Amino acid sequence: MKHMTRRNAIKAALAGGAMAAVSSSSVYGMKAAGVASAAPLKGNIRHSVSKWCFGSYELDEFCKICKRIGIESVELLDPKDWPTVQANGLTVAMAQGAGLGIDRAFNDPKLHDELVKSYEEVIPQVAEAGLTNLICFSGKRNGVTDLQGWENCEAGLKRIIPIAEKHKVVLTMELLNSVGHKDYLCDHTVWGVELCRRLGSPNFRLLYDIYHMQIMEGDIINNIRKYHEFFSHIHTGGNPGRAEIDETQELYYPAIMQAIVATGYKGFVGQEFVPKQADKIASLEKCIKICDV
């Protein structure tokens, strides 16, 4: 997203052939098969991936790779990119293209008119494309209390909830850590859940980002069990460093995925880690297999 520095495309050229077979490697005791010979996924998790993590691939090529792996969605894309994804038989589980970015958002009443205009333009496009989720943000805290933040965000979002309801689009506010995204307001699950309760609409939900919430609060599985009804989308990512979600980091993703499945959650789980292997597609397939419980 052009307003999101977090999601700038990776600058370095991505090494390794996109369609090369993946050599066998340990994945929490399992073996990662090559892309061309990948076994069918179990279907308990709906898999998506953030394109920004694989920026050097052309979108059409990347979609074809995802299709072969068994991924259903390529996400965090603007309206101009949606047709390419859909032409490859995939969907965009989390759309973007509205708003003013992560830092300038609904906590600032001075921005409400501009934000409302932007979302009023993009929400019908999401619906027309047959998509569901459209990302939004709280913006920076800017010195306000939690209560003031709830009131500010509620006032702005209530202006666009009716159009979201009309078009059956779910406005989805991302939970982010306020360490890397300094001063971000919606940085704890309970804060986001309270905003959902205040708005009282099924067309406003949260993007539960496991990487960000591990930094801020931990207790990932318990929070998934308690608050899953307020999540319309989930992101992965290894901590520390948004690395691959394997044995090199502090979270055990198979157990997290089992907990997600047990709640009955029907949304997508989007991979949003930064590949560390030379073969970036091998990294992606490995992490999909880790989550395929």
pLDDT digits (tens, 9 = 90+) for 60-101: 999 999 999 999 999 999 999 999 999 999 999 999 999 999
**What is the pLDDT at residue 11?**
36
What gap in Å lies between CA 126 and CA 95, rounded to an integer? 7
223-to-12, 74, 119, 205 alpha-carbon distances in Å: 36, 26, 29, 15
**What is the pLDDT at residue 38?**
61
Place of tokens 């920004």: 52
- Binned at pLDDT 50, 70 and 90, residue 55 comes out as confident
Q: Give the helix ranges, DSSP H, for the chain.
A: 59-69, 82-87, 112-128, 146-157, 161-167, 189-199, 210-216, 220-227, 253-263, 280-291
Mean pLDDT of the region 271-288: 95
pLDDT digits (tens, 9 = 90+) for 171-187: 999 999 999 999 999 99
Counting residues of the chain whose pLDDT is more than 90, the rounded percentage is 84
Counting residues of the chain whose pLDDT is more than 70, the rounded percentage is 87
User: Tell me, what amino acid is at 159?
Assistant: R
Q: Is the pLDDT of residue 127 over 50?
A: yes
Mean pLDDT of the region 194-218: 98
Mean pLDDT of the region 18-45: 51
Q: Return the ∠ at Cα 168 (arms to 111 and 204), rounded to 5°.
A: 50
Could you tell me if 52 and 9 are in contact, meaning their C-beta atoms sit under 8 angstroms apart? yes
Q: Is the pLDDT of residue 188 over 80?
A: yes
Q: Is the pLDDT of residue 207 over 50?
A: yes
Could you tell me if 159 and 123 are in contact, meaning their C-beta atoms sit under 8 angstroms apart? no
How crowded is the C-beta side of 38, counted as CA atoms within 13 Å? 26
Name the DSSP class of 136.
E
Closest among 38, 92, 100, 88 to 63, alpha carbons compared = 88
Structural domain spans, the chain: 27-291
Name the DSSP class of 109.
G
**What is the pLDDT at residue 39?**
76
Least confident range from 27-41, 46-60, 244-258, 262-276: namely 27-41
**Domain 27-291 bears CATH identifier 3.20.20.150:** yes
Helix (H, G, I), strand (E, B) or coil at 192: helix
